Amino acid sequence: MYETLFSLSSPAMVFWILLIVLPFWRVTRWLANSAIFPIYLAALYAVGIIAAILSNGLGFVSDFNSSEGIIRLLSNPDFALIVWIHVLCFDQAVGHYVYRDNMEHRYVPLPLQSVLLFFVLMFGPVGFLCYLILREVRRRGKRSAG
């Protein structure tokens, strides 16, 4: 079942390509405004985590407080796939935020937005941090110029 959920998560890559390559296309804008891909990934994750809880109970939560526990959890292939969908979902949500915020306010030029979205896709928090730093630099520049 978890491999099926993993396979079902792959269409989210299409949205990343649209965000990065075709940010002005009306389909891209509609998909971003609807947030359909993060919702879709969240639903897949919900199915996976509920199935894991129903079959294993909530005991795995006690593993969250140690590195050994996390390693043990991630060594379970089913749990690792659920965690991967969790990561995909949050990266997708952050990508949506960066896209929508920048398309509204134009803190960075679109080519740089595409680079930042690629960083969010590949390196999650690093891409998000880069965007936030550049956004703040741009905001301060506008305040001091105005």
Specify the pLDDT at position 145. 72
Q: Of 30, 2, 32, nearest to 94 (Cα)?
A: 32
Q: Per-residue pLDDT averaged across 110-121, rounded?
A: 97
For residue 136, pLDDT beyond 80: yes
For residue 131, pLDDT beyond 80: yes
Neighbours of 36 (CB within 10 A): 14
For residue 87, pLDDT beyond 90: yes
For residue 146, pLDDT beyond 70: no
Stretch among 77-81, 104-108, 141-145 having the lowest mean pLDDT: 141-145
For residue 27, pLDDT beyond 70: yes
- The domains of the chain are located at 2-145
SS3 content of the chain, % helix, strand, coil (to 5): 85, 0, 15
Q: Of 46, 20, 44, nearest to 32 (Cα)?
A: 20
Q: Per-residue pLDDT averaged across 58-68, rounded?
A: 88
CA distance 16 to 7: 16
Q: Of 93, 102, 103, 85, nearest to 124 (Cα)?
A: 93
Confirm if 135 and 100 have CB atoms less than 8 A apart. no
